[in-house]
Amino acid sequence: MNAEQSQDVQFRLTKAEKLCQSYRVKLTPLRKTLLQLLYENKAPLTAYELLRLLRKFYPKIEAMSVYRILSFLEKYHLIHRVLSCHAYAACNIPEHQHHPQLLLCEKCNHSEEIETESLKQAMDDISTKYAFFASKKPIEIFGICQACAIKP
């Protein structure tokens, strides 16, 4: 990670801390470390990948704790569960409620959260036209990201 990236991670962690304060819950060091791992990784991470990474800092941590932290972070909209790869990605816009839209690269596995107004509109149209009320599970769009597309 370069200086700019680590500055960005710190910025997002501070924002997450402030959000937790406003919800009157604590971003404990353990929760913060897990969140940091997700901020640092461009690809979504599974609970077991997170467990492996967390053990570098907390050698005795068990899988159950990881699941508990994940459900805490999900509850407060700091992360999203990526259903197609049974993994978790950090939320880019935790400060406001939204129906997550994720771009997932099939080559490098990176995920990017986007906010496309027309996609939001399309989801509203679907519920009106088909009387089908979509849950807030992420909309997962697969393809090839720009970085992978320009690689020879």
Q: Which positions touch Zn ion (CB under 5 A)? A: 91, 100, 105, 107-108, 145, 148
Tokens of 40: 């640092």
Of 70, 90, 67, the closest CA to residue 80 belongs to: 90
Going by C-beta distance under 8 Å and a sequence separation of 6 or more, which residues neighbour residue 16? Answer: 27, 32, 35, 78, 94
* Closer residue to Zn ion in complex, CB, 47/103: 103
Task: Output the smallest distance, CB 61 to Zn ion, in A.
Answer: 26
Task: Output the smallest distance, CB 59 to Zn ion, in A.
Answer: 31
* Closer residue to Zn ion in complex, CB, 69/138: 138
The C-alpha angle 150, 37, 54, rounded to 5 degrees, equals 135
Task: Output the smallest distance, CB 129 to Zn ion, in A.
Answer: 26
* Closer residue to Zn ion in complex, CB, 51/102: 102
